[in-house]
């Protein structure tokens, strides 16, 4: 039964009679810089319910008072008040209740009890009772950029007073207010270095964890510190085969920076505008650095491939160049081969057998050479989309560069011309032959062989 007195105590509508003894501990919650965030109040209440003389020895009455206290404290989210002469000394407090206990006793005319009570006071208007925040900076393997990871978490205070608990909302507001690279600690990164004047671009991944019961929110966000809106790694190889032909390959990967499709757009722009036009120069540099002795033909790749991932914002590429002479072809010609064979004339002799002549046949110089033959064979394949007429024109020009010229011979006549055309495959095969004669002095005789 409620009683009037100088000091009264309530939890919701439940009045503690008599007022219990209170042990009151206060803790100041500070952040890593020792700035105050909140005040934590921890109370232990120890009291006694006394039964009136009319109920003394009535165990059921004792149990009723125990149940009344248990039910009152279990109701939760009730205001805790301490009044002095009817004026509020402690009010507007909605604490957490824990460790309700009833002491060992006879339980005949009284019952001793205790319980713990705690609440946070948003004295500094932060809306939280604690938080944690870390920034991690790591150089990438190429040491031209750096990755940044920001982790922040907070436990909110229930500042609503009554009604819906807003601790989770307060934690969320606090955490989101500190996200973004603009909140990086001043002077950092102090040790990690990047190439050039770097700026932060948000990366693909974010993580968020919410603990509803604890009223806490945790966020992880990542950034890339880079001098541009993409990162690029490139490797090269130099290889010479048994014929002395050298191949140079250039491979690389482009990572567009930013969230969503913008990352791939940036990677594609970097590849088309900045990286691909420089591939021939990169290959030539590798060829020169590692002792290339001929000419690396970079007007057209021997092989070229590209891979992409729009979702991840990446582009991978590989290009191969060679110093083989037959790779120096026009841009529309995929394959080409041509050979010239010259069966040169020799001085003609007649051989006459003489019966029973011990010295053998009689050989007579007939003062004339044999005829010579020149054959040209080869084939050409045009790239897909290259006009077939242009393939034919290219082949014609190449044949005319090496065909025999009538002024170099006594007589010259074409004796064969076989052309095979496959327009569907953009391919031409050819075989041509000329027969010629030279004067007697040009025909081969006994002596040193001379190839010119």
Whole-number pLDDT of residue 334: 86
Domain ranges in the chain are: 7-121, 128-226, 239-325, 333-442
Whole-number pLDDT of residue 254: 95
The CATH code belonging to domain 333-442 is 2.40.30
Nearest to 72 by CA among 92, 103, 40, 49: 49
**Main-chain dihedrals φ then ψ at residue 171, nearest 5 degrees:** -65, -45
Q: Which residue has the tokens 């005040």?
A: 39
Q: How many CA atoms lie within 13 A of 289 on its CB side?
A: 11
| Helix residue spans in 155-235 (DSSP H) | 167-176
Classify residue 174 by its DSSP letter: H
Q: How many CA atoms lie within 13 A of 358 on its CB side?
A: 0
**CATH pick for 7-121 out of 2.40.30, 2.40.230, 3.40.50, 3.40.120:** 2.40.30
Q: What angle do CA 136, 139, 141 make, to 5 degrees?
A: 140
Length of the chain: 452
Whole-number pLDDT of residue 143: 80
pLDDT tens for the 452 residues of the chain, in order? 344 568 999 999 999 999 999 999 998 877 666 666 778 899 999 999 888 888 888 888 889 999 999 999 998 778 899 999 888 899 888 888 999 999 887 788 888 999 999 887 776 677 888 888 999 999 988 788 899 999 999 998 888 866 678 889 999 999 999 999 999 988 889 898 888 888 888 887 899 999 998 899 999 999 999 988 999 999 999 999 998 999 999 999 999 999 888 999 999 999 999 999 999 999 999 999 999 988 999 987 889 999 999 999 999 999 999 998 877 778 788 889 999 999 988 877 788 888 877 787 877 777 778 899 999 999 999 998 999 999 999 999 999 999 999 998 999 999 999 999 999 999 999 999 999 998 877 666 666 656 66
Tell me if 7-121 shares its fold with 333-442: yes
């Amino acid at each position: 039964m409620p009683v009037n007195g100088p000091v009264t105590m309530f939890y919701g509508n439940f009045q503690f009679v008599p007022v219990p003894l209170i042990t009151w501990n206060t803790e100041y919650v500070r952040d890593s810089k020792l700035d105050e965030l909140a005040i934590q109040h921890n109370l232990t209440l120890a009291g006694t319910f006394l039964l009136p003389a009319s109920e003394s020895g009535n165990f059921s009455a004792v149990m009723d008072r125990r149940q009344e206290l248990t039910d009152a404290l279990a109701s939760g989210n009730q205001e805790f008040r301490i009044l002095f002469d009817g004026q509020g000394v402690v009010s507007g407090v909605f604490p957490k209740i824990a460790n309700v206990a009833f002491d060992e006793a006879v339980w005949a005319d009284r019952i001793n009890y205790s319980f713990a009570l705690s609440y946070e006071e948003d004295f500094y208007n932060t809306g939280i009772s604690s938080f944690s925040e870390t920034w991690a900076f790591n150089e990438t393997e190429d040491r031209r950029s750096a990755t940044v990871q920001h982790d922040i978490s907070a436990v909110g205070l229930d500042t609503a007073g009554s009604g819906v608990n807003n601790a989770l909302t307060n934690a969320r507001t606090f955490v989101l207010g500190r996200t973004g690279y603009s909140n990086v600690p001043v002077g950092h990164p102090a040790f990690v270095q990047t190439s050039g004047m770097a700026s932060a671009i948000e990366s693909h991944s974010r993580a968020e964890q919410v603990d509803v019961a604890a009223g806490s929110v945790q966020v992880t966000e990542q950034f890339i510190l880079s001098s541009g809106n993409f990162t690029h790694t490139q490797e090269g190889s130099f290889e010479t085969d048994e014929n002395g032909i050298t191949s140079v390959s250039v491979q690389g990967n482009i990572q567009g920076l930013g969230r969503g499709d913008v990352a791939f757009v940036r990677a594609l722009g970097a590849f088309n505008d900045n990286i691909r036009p420089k591939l021939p120069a990169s290959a030539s540099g590798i060829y020169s650095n590692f002792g290339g002795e001929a000419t690396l033909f970079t007007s057209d790749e021997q092989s070229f491939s590209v891979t992409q991932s729009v979702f991840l914002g990446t582009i991978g590429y590989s290009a191969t160049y060679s110093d083989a002479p037959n790779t120096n072809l026009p841009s529309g010609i995929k394959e080409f081969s041509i050979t010239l064979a010259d069966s040169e004339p020799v001085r003609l002799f007649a051989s006459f057998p003489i019966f029973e002549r011990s010295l053998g046949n009689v050989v007579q110089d007939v003062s004339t050479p044999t005829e010579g033959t020149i054959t040209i064979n080869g084939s050409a394949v045009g790239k897909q989309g290259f006009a077939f007429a242009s393939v034919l024109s290219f082949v014609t020009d190449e044949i005319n560069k090496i065909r025999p010229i009538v002024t170099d011979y006594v007589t010259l006549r074409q004796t064969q011309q076989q052309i095979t055309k496959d327009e569907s495959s953009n391919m031409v095969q050819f075989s041509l032959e000329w027969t010629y004669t030279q004067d007697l002095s040009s025909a081969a005789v006994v002596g040193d062989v001379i190839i010119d």
